[in-house]
Structure formats: structure tokens, C-alpha cells
Amino acid sequence: MTEDSFDGGARLVEQVAAATGADPAHHRLLHARGAWAAGEFTPSGRAAAVFTAPATPATARFSSTLGGPGGHDGDPGDHGLAVRIGDLDLVMFTLPVFFVRTGAAMAEFLRATNSPDPSAVPAFLERHPEAATALELAQQARPAAGFTGLTYHSVHAYGLTDGARRVRWARLSWRPQRPTEPLNPEEAHSRPGDYLSLGLAAELPASLDLVAQLPAPHDEVYDPTRLWSSEHTVPLGTLTLTGTEPPATEPGFDPLRLPRGVAAPLDELAADRSRVYAAARHRRA
Ligand code: HEM
């Protein structure tokens, strides 16, 4: 990472902190509430060459995006799943698309959604109509019953090298083997604020399948704000989580930490995320 890109990440950390009121010295600025899980990833042996390795230990962190450490898991907001499998980090969340295309637009988005001014979000949407799809999906989301029953999405397309050494661009998702129905908001709010983290141990063992979604001819491969129409998916493997012991050393998740055979997303958002996560960790250290 160059000094310039690191400074860009640090600037974004301060902008996100200012927009959300979060304390960057002590907590993750987003996804502050969460819980660790440990297990193993077993590749399907199909598709991309990188997913043919033997079963590999995996470290996962589930999280709730909004509200800081004192927020409530039943409040509106998406959930995250970050997983480290060998040299691969997958840092995904529950919406299939993202709100914006760059870190700068994300800071603007957070300022608008945290503003008391009721005209702030409509004004933001005028400037960023690309945010409408994710916002609409986020507004439909209902409280989760458990972290392991949700589907998580990469939103970016990664370049997967197949057995014939061809690069296929694909979005990745974790699909739960035991999907859960959402809770009604009253039931969720009768539980403790971090009920999803508290309930994780009781959900285990749990398995989620990693699938690659291949684009249809007109799907926008490099735009994380656009839904894809394609239903063509390829199974890449299965993550089986068995314990909730936190790792001895927390992985510093980075959406651009990728093994040979997986090419980085070509959208600007992935590079901006990589910078801001490194700078956020540095700020917390
Ligand atoms: C420019 C857009 C984005 C910004 C500025 C941003 C910012 C952040 C920040 C500051 C953190 C806390 C990092 C730390 O302190 O360790 C974080 C964590 C996280 N973000 Fe993002 N994020 C963005 C986009 C996304 C997207 C598109 C996804 C999902 C596809 C996502 C999923 C997550 C997850 C799962 C975590 C928690 C990681 C962990 O458990 O350590 N973020 N994000």
C-alpha cells in the first residue's frame, strides 16, 4: 500500500466516524457488534482451480452493521460475514448489491442516512440514483433469527481462474444449509441487544455453501450497485462452523487479500474498502 492510498483510507475513517458518531479508537466503525466462529472450508473440487485445495481451517466473524457496540441486532440494518480461509478473505454482507461505487460516495451516504434532516436522503438519492436498489432492499429486511441462517453476498465480481486457465468473473455468496425465517420486530426487541452474537453457539454446528454466480451477457460485471439477472451458479465449497472460540490473533480482514488464481475486483469500491479497513485497524491499534 502506498502512503497516498493509506492517507486516503485514514481520511475515510475520519469521515465515516464523523458521519456515524462512532469512536474509531475503540470499536469497528461499522459492524461493531459481532461474534467469532471457527471451522473448516471444504472445496467442491469444481470450477475455479483455487477451490480444489484440501479442506482448510477457517476463521469467521459474523456482525451487525449498524448501531455501534450498544445498538440492537433487531433494528433495521444488514449483517456481515467475514471469513479467512488460507490466503483468501471473503468480507460479505446480506444485501446482494451495495449502495455506492466509491468510498467518497459511501461517506456522503452515511452523512445522509445519519442526518436528522428528512430531506438529506432524498437529496442524496438525486445525486446517487444507483443507491436506490440497495436502499429499497435494506428497507425490506426484517430482524434475523440467527447469523448462520442468512445469505451473504460479495457484491463485487472476482476473477476466478478455471481448470483451463480462463478467468471467469463471478459474484460470490454464502448460502445457509439451514435458512431461518425472520423474526417479527417485537419478538426481536424482547431479546438482548446482541442476541445474534449470544445465540451463535447454540446454532453450531452450521454449514454455509459458497457459490459463484456467473453473469448473464447484459449483467454489469464491474458495478456493485447493479443486480444481476443470471441464475447460473456453481458450487465452490462448504464452510462448516463448529466452535465460537475467538482466534488467538484477530485476522485483519481485507477484501483484496486473495490467493493466486483469484483476481481482484475491478470496481473502485473494493480498493477503497481495502484501504479503509487497514486504516481503521491502524486507528484502533
Ligand atoms: C466504501 C464502502 C465501505 C466502507 C467505507 C466500509 C467501511 C467499513 C469499516 C470502517 C469497517 C470496520 C473495519 C475495522 O475497523 O476493522 C467495516 C467492516 C466491515 N465491512 Fe465494510 N465498508 C464498505 C463496504 C462494505 C461492503 C460492500 C461490504 C460487503 C460486501 C462490507 C462488509 C463489511 C464487513 C462484513 C465488515 C466487518 C469485518 C469484520 O468482522 O472485521 N463493507 N467496513
| pTM of the full structure | 0.96
Could you tell me if the CB of 277 is within 6 A of ligand 1? yes
276 CB within 6 A, ligand 1: yes
Would you state the pLDDT for residue 38? 98
**pLDDT value at position 44?**
86
Q: Which atom of ligand 1 is nearest the CA belonging to 27?
A: 15
H/E stretch holding 278 reads: helix 268-284
**Cα of 31 from ligand 1 centre, angstroms:** 7
Residue 153 alpha carbon, nearest atom of ligand 1: 30
* Domain 3-284 homologous superfamily, CATH: Catalase core domain (2.40.180.10)
> Which residue minimizes the CA distance to atom 27 of ligand 1?
98
CA–centroid distance, residue 65 to ligand 1 (Å): 8
**Cell triple for 36:** 467469532
Chain-centroid distance of CA 163 in Å reads 28
Q: Is 152 in the pocket of ligand 1 (CB under 6 A)?
A: no
Q: Is the CB of 30 under 6 A from ligand 1?
A: yes
* The predicted structure's pLDDT at residue 41: 94
What's the DSSP call for residue 89? E
Please list, in sequence order, all residues whose beta carbon lies within 8 angstroms of the beta carbon of residue 175, skipping any fewer than 6 positions away.
151, 208, 209, 211
Q: What is the DSSP letter of 264?
A: P
- Ligand 1 within 6 A of CB of 281: yes
Determine the Cα–Cα distance for residues 151 and 84; give it in Å rounded to an integer: 17
Counting as low any pLDDT under 50, the low residues of the chain are none
Looking at residue 55, its pLDDT comes to 87
Q: How far apart are alpha carbons 246 and 206 in whole angstroms?
A: 17
What is the number of the ligand 1 atom nearest to the C-alpha of 80?
Answer: 35
Distance 32 CA to ligand 1 centre (A): 10
Placement of cell 465515516 in the chain: 16
